[in-house]
């Protein structure tokens, strides 16, 4: 009922308690109770004497009802689990996936106390960011899954570009770079048998309206937020909706027609290709010029001896030109 009260108020007002009660079939006292509850959640609803209630603004939170309103996806985000704060959305997603949560379920929060990044790093998750994990269940072999993190990075970059005037770039495999600093990253975890993928959990973390002071000291020079780059705050709900829409489209195209279209789009937004890099993986360290992404999503590096290396996983460091900063 609270959602219906909110939906009616959002249609426009002022609307009196009596009129609201009549249209929804509940008493004025019950309407008042729901308005009070909505205000407590952060909705600004004004009361105009003699006229009624007016919807002014929604809270800057990722409440599921806000995310659902206007969300145009068919699968991604149709099931939303929301926690104001959580250890890590990856952990919740993993438990839910093991219990059979359906494809497209997202786990969403405002802050994480134990946010996780790639390669065992921590992911600082203060309020103002967008942190969520998506459960996917594609019919793929585990080796084919390498392309999905790239597809997710592309979806995030396209959504940022669509919503802001910014020009995000992609650092292989899937860091989101804006003006040479990292604004977001993606952690992909899979559960699989040798030849069969059970599920993928795609964890996306973005510094959106994150005040610079809340970013940890060790990454302050390397990290940024969308607000810092754009100069004004960004609607986190619209951004999340944009990411889900872009990702659903790219994910469907990928399953229907393969990786080639996404690969070319990824390359057109690449921050890595054409640069001198060092890539560290568990097995080796490779230095050379990044020249391409192949049809599996692997990074192709040409070493100084002219030999081509194909790298399927690792952490890329870009060679700095004197006076240039590195996005890490």
Which residues lie near ligand BTN (CB under 6 A)?
A: 88-90, 112, 115-118, 121, 123, 131-133, 175, 185-187, 203-205
Tally the residues of the chain. Answer: 328
Distance CA 167, CA 161 (A): 6
Return all residues near 255 (Cβ < 8 A) that are at least 6 apart: 138, 139
**Exposed, middle or buried by CB within 10 Å (0-12, 13-18, 19+), for 214?**
middle
Based on CB atoms, which residue is closest to ligand BTN, 6 or 204? 204
* Residue 313 Cβ vs ligand BTN, minimum distance, rounded to whole Å: 13
Using CA atoms, how far apart are residues 208 and 285, in angstroms rounded to an integer?
33
Smaller CB separation from ligand BTN, 94 or 265 = 94
Residue nearest ligand BTN by beta-carbon distance: 185
- Residue 87 vs 287, nearer CB to ligand BTN: 87
Minimum distance of ligand BTN from residue 145's CB (angstroms)? 16
Nearer to ligand BTN, 178 or 187 (CB): 187
Q: In angstroms, what is the minimal distance from the CB of 107 to ligand BTN?
A: 8
Provide the minimum distance between the beta carbon of 178 and ligand BTN in the complex, in angstroms, as a whole number.
14
* Residue keyed to tokens 């839910």: 96
Give me the half-sphere count of Cα atoms (radius 13 Å) on the Cβ side of residue 254: 29
Question: Closer CB to ligand BTN, residue 203 or residue 288?
Answer: 203
Question: Least separation, in Å, of the C-beta of 150 and ligand BTN?
Answer: 13
- Spacing of C-alpha 292 from chain mean position: 25
Q: At its nearest, how many Å lie between ligand BTN and the CB of residue 175?
A: 6
Handedness of CA 13, 80, 249, 313 (dihedral sign): positive
Q: Provide, rounded to whole angstroms, the least separation between the CB of residue 169 and ligand BTN.
A: 14
**Cis (ω within 30 of 0) for the bond into 295?**
no
Contact 68, 82 (CB under 8 A): no
- Residue placing its CB nearer to ligand BTN in the complex, 16 or 191: 191
In terms of CB distance, is 5 or 178 closer to ligand BTN? Answer: 178
194 by Cβ neighbours in 10 Å (0-12 / 13-18 / 19+) ranks as exposed
């Amino acid at each position: 009922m609270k959602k219906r009260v909110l939906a009616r108020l959002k249609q426009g007002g002022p609307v009196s308690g009596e009129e609201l009660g009549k249209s929804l079939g509940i008493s004025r006292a019950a309407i008042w109770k729901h308005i009070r509850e909505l205000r407590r959640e952060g909705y600004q609803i004004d009361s105009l004497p003699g006229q009624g209630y007016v919807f002014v603004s929604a809270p800057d939170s990722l409440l599921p009802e806000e995310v659902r309103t206007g969300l145009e996806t068919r699968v991604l985000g149709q099931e939303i689990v929301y926690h104001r704060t959580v250890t890590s959305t990856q952990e919740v997603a993993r438990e839910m996936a093991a219990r059979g949560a359906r494809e497209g379920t997202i786990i969403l929060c405002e802050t994480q106390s134990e946010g996780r990044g790639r390669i065992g790093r921590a992911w600082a998750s203060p309020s103002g960011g967008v942190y969520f994990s998506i459960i996917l269940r594609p019919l793929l072999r585990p080796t084919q899954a390498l392309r999905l993190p790239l597809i997710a990075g592309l979806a995030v970059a396209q959504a940022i570009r669509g919503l802001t005037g910014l020009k995000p770039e992609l650092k292989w495999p899937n860091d989101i770079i804006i003006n040479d600093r990292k604004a977001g990253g993606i952690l992909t975890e899979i559960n699989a048998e040798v030849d069969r993928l059970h599920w993928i959990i795609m964890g996306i973390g973005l510094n959106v309206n994150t005040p610079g002071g809340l970013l940890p000291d060790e990454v302050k020079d390397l990290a940024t937020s969308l607000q810092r780059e754009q100069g004004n705050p960004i609607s986190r709900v619209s951004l999340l909706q944009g990411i889900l829409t872009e990702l659903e489209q790219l994910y469907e195209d990928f399953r229907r027609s393969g990786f080639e279209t996404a690969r070319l789009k990824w390359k057109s937004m690449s921050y890595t290709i054409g640069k001198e890099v060092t890539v560290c993986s568990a097995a080796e360290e490779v230095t050379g010029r990044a020249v391409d992404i192949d049809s599996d999503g692997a990074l192709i590096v040409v070493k100084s001896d002219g030999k081509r290396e194909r790298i399927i996983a690792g952490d890329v460091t870009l060679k700095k030109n004197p006076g240039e900063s590195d996005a890490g």
